[in-house]
Amino acid sequence: MKIKSVIKVSKNLVSWLFWKINNRFFFDQWQLLFSFENNLNFKDFIKITPPKDRFWADPFLVEYENKYYVFYEELIYSENIGHIACLEIDSFGNVSNFQTVLKRKYHLSYPFIIEHKKSFYMIPETGENNTIEIYESASFPNDWKLKKILIPNIVAYDTTILQHNSKYWLFANVRNPENNSTWDTLHLFYSESLFEDVWKPHTLNPIVSNISCARPAGNIYKKNNKIYRPAQNCSLHYGYAIEIMEITILDEYNYAEEKSNAILPAWDKKVSSIHTINSLEGITIVDAKISRNRYFNG
């Protein structure tokens, strides 16, 4: 065997042994982090750490009666199916009232929340059920009833709605039939009403075909008369980072966006991914995949 081949085999063996040892003592877990400060210094964010038997991801914020409510995906590893949970954060940063608020026989995640005519509605990811569904809050925050199937017969992920120019614009990643990916093709639909029977597909669908900025990563927001769309960057692996895209053209016939900023998981060597960000006045929350010791706390 040539020396180069021996060296290559040795390096591969060392890498494999390192991976086995690391996997024996550590695991990656999605956690939540929030801050009341008006900056993105993630080192100073407060961690909300799940028990070791589950992960928490896709956080969305609602302010209600002087409290912040966080809706998020909870997945217990032994069950391997996501459901929607909720927690509360008070003005002092105390976290409490962890509870399950929506479960189905199929996977749920990404609990997008929209307020409409003084009621709250949730559009969780229901791609496993081949639908986009909207739920109405019957008793906030823990009782949600199916209001309507917005779009049937669609394998869509991370639905995010923007109200703009007297229309509702529905962004969702639709499974790419060419490669079976759910990461790289963003589709857009629009209607005159939130509960329209037929949502019209945009003529340019898919409006984005790019693994680094297609899949939604949180609420679309307006700032200084500009529209920004957080997007997942899955170029290295699923949920690696967030790209902030500025939407520069949005109408029934045209769509354009350009990169404005990037949020990378670079503030701690234990962090490998960040794929959802949401803010309200006075608070920002994200999720991050963090390496954690299997046997010790922390």
The full DSSP string for 191-213 is ESSTT-S-PEEPTT-SSEE-TTT
Beta strand 156-164 with 167-174 is antiparallel
For position 168, what pLDDT does the model report?
Answer: 98
16, containing H or E segment: helix 3-25
Residue 175 has a pLDDT of 92
Sheet containing strand 255-263, strands side by side: 221-223, 226-233, 241-250, 255-263
How confident is the chain (298 residues) per 10-residue block, as mean pLDDT?
A: 49 46 78 94 97 98 95 98 98 96 98 96 98 98 97 98 97 92 96 96 98 98 97 97 98 98 97 98 97 82
Pairing of strands 131-139, 119-125: antiparallel
CB 124 within 8 A of CB 106: no
* Residues facing residue 117 across a β-bridge: none
Query: 212: which residues sit within 8 A by CB, 6+ positions away?
Result: 233, 234, 235, 243
Beta sheet of 119-125, edge-to-edge order: 109-116, 119-125, 131-139, 143-152
Tokens (6 digits) for 113: 């929340």
Q: CA 242 to CA 261: how far, in whole Å?
A: 9
For residue 53, the one-letter residue type is D
Q: Say if residues 247 and 220 touch (Cβ distance below 8 Å).
A: yes
Whole-model pTM: value is 0.92
pLDDT score at 21:
55
Cβ-contact 106, 91 below 8 angstroms: no
In this predicted structure, what is the pLDDT of residue 2? 56
85 with 56: CB under 8 angstroms?
yes
Q: 81: Cβ–Cβ under 8 A, 6 or more apart, which residues?
A: 75, 106, 107
